[in-house]
Amino acid sequence: MGLPSENTLRPTLRVAVIGADSGTPGLARGFAQSTDWEVVAVCDEDRSRAEGLAREAGNPAVTSSVTELLAGHDVDAVVIATPAQTHHGITLQALAAGKHVLLEKPLADTTGAAVEMVAAAESRGSVLMVNHAYCYTPAVLKIRELIAGGELGEIRYVDSVRINHDFVRSDADVFWDQAAHDLSVLDFVLPGGLEPQVVSAQGADPLRSGKACVGYLNLPLSNGALAHVHVNWLSPTKVQQMVIGGSRKTLIWDDLNPQQRLSIYDRDAVPDRRHMGLADAGTGPGAAIPSRLQDPWSPPLSESTPLALMVSNFADAIRGHRPALTDGRSALRVLSVLESTSTSLARGGATTAIPDPWAPAHGASGAGGTAPDAGERTGRGGT
């Protein structure tokens, strides 16, 4: 399932990249290599860093000020790849200047700030989009297609593991850094997106770093199913796997297995009670659930590059051909879960309500003030 641009004959769109940290070069190259886009400027308060990024993106103009960038360069859109704490101010500044906005995850560092950003974009008719990169992978696009088509039946559970021996970030814990990927995928593939009412989270900090390095998140879904996410920066082995159990079939996404990223088992995730040794619909000890597994099958996947699909979708959303797949509202749903996850963690794992971010009492961000320039480097992580 691909997302090719619908009109490559149209004039290219002009984009500027704000933020030149280590993760930005690949993103800038993705825009530079696209027939939909021309990278015309790079902005970072560290000019030498901006110049280095510019060399990766075709040597566009370089500036160290967001204000100077927006006033001095004719661009259709900006890509914001700065720390999350700066996203609110820079985004509002760009939207006020009539630009469309793509952000690296997360959308913002608070849901209040994010609500203001989404509302500002919608009131201006501007595209606000977040680069939840896994949503553009061929495997996740196929999962979305299979679930929407009823192939798995009703979703009964999700069990996701994302562990690695990784560096401990100074600006985010393991939930904001890693679980954000799993939550964005769930919001993308589940019909209606993520609509949980509560969340509970437990974390461990064996390194005494001051933040959770190992974490477990439990998320009851709106249909009564349960999603469980395990994330870990300290594992000696790397695992990126999600199991989605449905009433008809069970799917396993193994992102580290290029030979078979998706495996689908033709079995009931929750067998009929008659097959469990229960005498009737009442009580009973039950026997072991009989194995009904068959050999898995793997659906064909496209060879599309996720980054190319994402930048193409951004262009098409601006041109009005199709909606942004990972728009501001979807990113806000993910952010709401992450924020409540932090609250649960601070309360020792207590089940915590996820407030409606659009409720008046919750939506005020108190994040106003002048827009920060591109180089501010604090807050919850930006990629």
The CATH number given to whatever domain includes residue 312 is: 3.40.50.720
Closest to 141 in 3D by CA, of 191, 185, 195, 107 = 185
Query: Is 323 contained in some domain?
Result: yes
Do 150 and 296 lie in one domain? The reply is yes
Return the pLDDT at 293. Answer: 63
- Looking up tokens 């915590």 gives 352
Do 283 and 318 lie in one domain? The reply is no
Total domains in the chain come to: 2
- Contact assessment for residue 249 and residue 211, using Cβ atoms and an 8 Å cutoff: no
* Distance, CA of 209 to CA of 255 (rounded, Å): 29
Query: Is 42 contained in some domain?
Result: yes
Do 300 and 160 lie in one domain? The reply is yes
Do 287 and 316 lie in one domain? The reply is no
Do 153 and 251 lie in one domain? The reply is yes
Do 323 and 236 lie in one domain? The reply is no
Return the pLDDT at 206. Answer: 95
Do 319 and 187 lie in one domain? The reply is no
Do 64 and 33 lie in one domain? The reply is yes
Do 73 and 103 lie in one domain? The reply is yes
Boundary of a domain, candidates 238, 270, 304: 304
Do 296 and 152 lie in one domain? The reply is yes
Q: Which residues form the domain of 49? A: 13-133+307-327
Return the pLDDT at 360. Answer: 76
Return the pLDDT at 166. Answer: 82
Instruction: Give phi and psi for 207, each to the nearest 5.
Output: -85, -5
Query: Is 316 contained in some domain?
Result: yes
* Distance, CA of 36 to CA of 33 (rounded, Å): 9
Residue 359's Cα: distance from chain center in Å? 23
Query: Is 43 contained in some domain?
Result: yes
Query: Is 353 contained in some domain?
Result: no
Closest to 158 in 3D by CA, of 220, 116, 115 = 220
Return the pLDDT at 22. Answer: 76
Residues 6+ apart with CB under 8 A from 224: none
- Contact assessment for residue 75 and residue 31, using Cβ atoms and an 8 Å cutoff: no
b/e burial code for range 211-232 (CB count within 10 A of at least 16 → b): bbbbbbbbbebeeebebebbbb
Q: How many CB atoms lie within 10 A of CB 360?
A: 7
Query: Is 357 contained in some domain?
Result: no
Query: Is 145 contained in some domain?
Result: yes
> pTM (2 decimals)?
0.86
Q: Structure tokens of 233?
A: 């920066």
Q: Structure tokens of 155?
A: 């979703």
Can you give the pLDDT of all 383 residues of the chain as single tens digits? Answer: 455 444 445 689 999 999 998 778 899 999 999 999 999 999 999 999 999 999 989 999 999 999 999 999 999 999 999 999 999 999 999 999 999 999 999 999 999 999 999 999 999 999 999 999 999 999 999 999 999 999 999 999 999 999 999 888 888 999 999 999 999 999 999 998 999 999 999 999 999 999 999 999 999 998 899 999 999 999 999 999 999 999 999 999 999 999 999 999 996 445 555 555 554 544 455 555 555 667 899 999 998 999 999 999 999 999 998 999 999 999 999 999 999 999 999 999 999 999 999 887 655 444 433 333 333 322 355 55
- 3-state SS of the chain? CCCCCCCCCCCCEEEEEECCCCCHHHHHHHHHCCCCEEEEEEECCCHHHHHHHHHHCCCCEEECCHHHHHHHCCCCEEEECCCHHHHHHHHHHHHHCCCEEEEECCCCCCHHHHHHHHHHHHHHCCCEEEECHHHHCHHHHHHHHHHHCCCCCCEEEEEEEEEEECCCCCCCCHHHHHHHHHHHHHHHHCCCCCCCCEEEEEEECCCCCCCCCEEEEEEECCCCCEEEEEEECEEEEEEEEEEEEECCCEEEEECCCCCCCEEEECCCCCCCHHHHCCCCCCCCCCCCCCCCCCCCECCCCCCCCHHHHHHHHHHHHHHCCCCCCCEHHHHHHHHHHHHHHHHHHHCCCCCEECCCCCCHHHHCCCCCCCCCCCCCCCCCCCC
Do 119 and 35 lie in one domain? The reply is yes
What CATH code is carried by the domain that includes residue 248?
3.30.360.10
> For residues 299, 303, 306 and 307, what is the CA-based torsion angle, rounded to 10 degrees?
180
Measured between alpha carbons, how far is residue 47 from residues 38, 87, 111, 312, 379 in Å? 21, 20, 31, 29, 21
Do 184 and 216 lie in one domain? The reply is yes
Query: Is 253 contained in some domain?
Result: yes
Positive or negative, the Cα torsion across 362, 368, 374, 377? negative
Return the pLDDT at 275. Answer: 52
Return the pLDDT at 182. Answer: 98
